[in-house]
Amino acid sequence: MQRIAVHGDYFGYDGLSRRRAWRTANAVAIIILGFAIGHFLALLPERNTADVQEIIKGLDKLVGLMTHELVELPEAQRHPESFIVEIIGVLIGYTILRHTKEDLHDYQRTFRRIEQFYTPDERRRGWVVCAACACAATAIIVGMHAVLLTLGTAWSPDCTAGLSQTSLAIGWWLYVYGYMFAARTNLFRYNFRALGRINIYELGVNEPDGRRATQIAEKRLCDLSESLTSFAVAFGVIGALALYFLPSVRTTYFWVPLVAMLAIVIVSKELVLKYAKSKYEPDFD
């Protein structure tokens, strides 16, 4: 089992975590920004040509392939150019998220446990950056929506929706990056989640029986947390797709289920993490 020495990041964990925060924030912002650009394009004259329809058919096949035919794009589009940009934004963001997750899983399989090497001052600075990002994000989102409430009544719905989602893209970039930048210093979180990459039958085979039983119980709790997260993500995505594609409930606030899902996932993971740390490794830090 690989370990990182107490006084140094010898195996590149900090670099990996910073890249992961940057890429994840970029992916989330690209997805939201794709919908914002789609609204701005809807301000232009519609061009529903044969070439555009062929592009949509190609995207439909690609989405079907990536989702194992679970998602099928609607044939009729209100504004095809906007739809194409929105789907491309989702595909780019999804690809970045998928590769980032695979990179983390590869690292976790190689380095199953990392001992604490961040100083208290480094951990404190991380959360200061997180707080600054959260304040800036909130100011941008609230400020833009205040302007839209005051002046946006005279603008077209697509214009106001585009500006709203642009502010959300910037704000959520700051939220995601700030949180992940700060959370990287919580190495118990890394060790707990890395258990999910370990075969339970290989876990603790060279450890005393008491230690092995603790590791197995910790892994089962980790697996339960991952399963609940998968269910929450599935419901959030299905809800967002329904609010975006179904004509009877279509709304510009289709992203609300995703935000609700993200909040539920973050809170539930934090509660599970606190419980696991207090029960299994209260003296880790």
DSSP string, 6-45: TT--TT-HHHHHHHHHHHHHHHHHHHHHHHHHHHHHTTSP
CA gap 224, 221 in Å, rounded: 5
The residue written with tokens 């709203």 in the block is: 164
In a domain, 228, yes or no: yes
Chunk the chain into consecutive blocks of 10 residues (it has 285) and report each block's average pLDDT, rounded to whole numbers: 48 92 96 90 70 63 56 55 82 92 91 88 95 97 92 84 92 95 92 84 72 82 86 83 75 79 85 87 78
Q: How many independent structural domains does the chain possess?
A: 1
Q: Which amino acid is at 227?
A: S
Q: Is residue 59 part of a domain?
A: no
pLDDT of amino acid 31? 92
Is residue 241 included in any domain, yes or no? Answer: yes
Q: Which domain holds residue 215?
A: 186-285
In this predicted structure, what is the pLDDT of residue 7? Answer: 46
Q: Is residue 40 within 8 Å of 159, Cβ to Cβ? A: yes
pTM score: 0.80
**Phi-psi region at 207: left, alpha or beta (left = phi > 0; alpha = psi -120 to 50):** beta
Among left, alpha and beta (phi > 0; psi -120 to 50; other), residue 260 is: alpha
Neighbours of 235 (CB within 10 A): 14
Residue 263 is predicted with a pLDDT of 84
Domain-embedded: residue 202: yes
Residue 254 domain-assigned?
Answer: yes
Positive/negative CA dihedral, 65, 71, 72, 76: negative
Q: Which residues contact 188 (CB under 8 A, 6 or more apart)?
A: 273, 276, 277, 281, 284, 285
With respect to residue 244, please indicate whether it lies within any of the assigned structural domains.
yes
Per the domain annotation, does 227 fall within a domain?
A: yes
CA–CA separation, 15 and 234 (whole Å): 30
Cα–Cα distance, 131 to 128 (Å, whole number): 5
pLDDT value at position 4?
44
C-alpha angle 32-40-145 in degrees, rounded to nearest 5: 65
The answer as to whether 190 is a domain residue is yes
pLDDT of residue 65: 57
- CA 273/CA 221 separation, integer angstroms: 9
- Give the separation between CA 70 and CA 109, rounded to whole angstroms: 30
